Copies of this chain bind each other. A is one copy, B any other.
Amino acid sequence: MSGGGTAIAVDAVGGDHAPDAVVEGTLIALSADPSLAVLLVGPESVVSEAASRSERITPIVATEVIGMDESPTQSVRVKRDSSIVVGCRLIKEGKAGGFFSAGNTGAVLAAGTLIVGRIAGVSRPAIGAVFPTAAKPSVVVDIGASSDCRPEHLVAFAHMGAAYARTLLGLEEPSVGLLSIGEEPNKGSTLVVQAHRLMADSVPGFVGNVEGRDVPRGVVDVVVTDGFTGNVVVKVMEGVSATLIAQMKHAMTSSPLRTAAASVLAPAMRELGRRMDPDVYGGAPLLGVAGAVLIGHGSSGPEAVAAGVAASATAVRGGLTEHIAAAVSTA
């Protein structure tokens, strides 16, 4: 490991295509960033083989794996030598500034909270999602860490999401919207109406309520919502895109002439697909823990892993943790 660079721990066995996609993605990230070093966490055979391919990979052996469907809190408590627990411990011990895993989201949330620990003043970590919109990337927070929220939690989510947008998306003063069912401050659930009042007084860049249709349009940089609604929103967006694209493909190949026309358009469609691919933003940040922890999609391929590792490094260098700590303490 090179001195003076940024060290990121990476879960070698997280995700559907691990370990190959993780190792390939790590090598891509390293070749793009000369001051990056990776602590690759996983089974001895995997991490030592990977370390032989780059001197900036340090092998860290973890003998256990937390499966995608295992109970998060339980598995984090029991599997003390799992890649997720060991990766988080590397942050706690100051050996890594961040951790990237495409593994069990709930387990990363639990390990981040229990092992890395919360930033002072943060009562609940949240999971953000960064995704492309018609305009520019947006952050939605929370997308699943907390299903039942109080108004003050949403205020903290706003601060953390804005800190992420400043650090990772390079926005000076990100605009922040509260997801509701009408623009007026009195529209929405009791939770949202109360949160609106608190946010209006305390959140820089707060523009008021936004509605469901504003999320894919990218009307604001940060969309604040409880983890139940946020999770539903992100999955609805995934589902609509997949359904619509499948229906279009079907319609476009319903005759030989149409198939020929579709082949002319294929490069444009692929380019659009790349532009609308959320994986390029490096995964979902775990906001509010004392380190740059990012969670990749379970289906992450090498490019998505590379983006996740790079985003973790950017978060460390940009001082994400410090920005969140400052925002939460002044709030």
Contacts and interface: CB of A to CB of B under 8 A. Distances in A.
Contacts of A133: 243
Interface string A296-319: 000000000000000000000000
B240 A241 contact: yes
A257 B248 contact: no
Given A147-B189, A232-B229, A236-B216, A269 B251 contact: yes
Nearest to A238: B213
A124 B243 CA distance: 33
Given A268-B254, A271-B251, A212 B233 contact: yes
Q: Size range of the interface on A?
A: 35 or more
Contacts of A240: 216, 236-237, 240-241, 244
Interface in A85-110: none
A319 B239 CA distance: 34
Contacts of A243: 133-134, 216-217
A1 interface: no
Closest A-B pairs by Cβ, 8 of them: A212-B235, A213-B239, A261-B264, A212-B236, A261-B261, A251-B268, A181-B231, A240-B240
Interface of A: 133-134, 144, 147-148, 179-181, 188-190, 192, 211-217, 226-229, 231-248, 251-252, 254, 257-258, 260-262, 264-265, 268-269, 271-272, 275-276
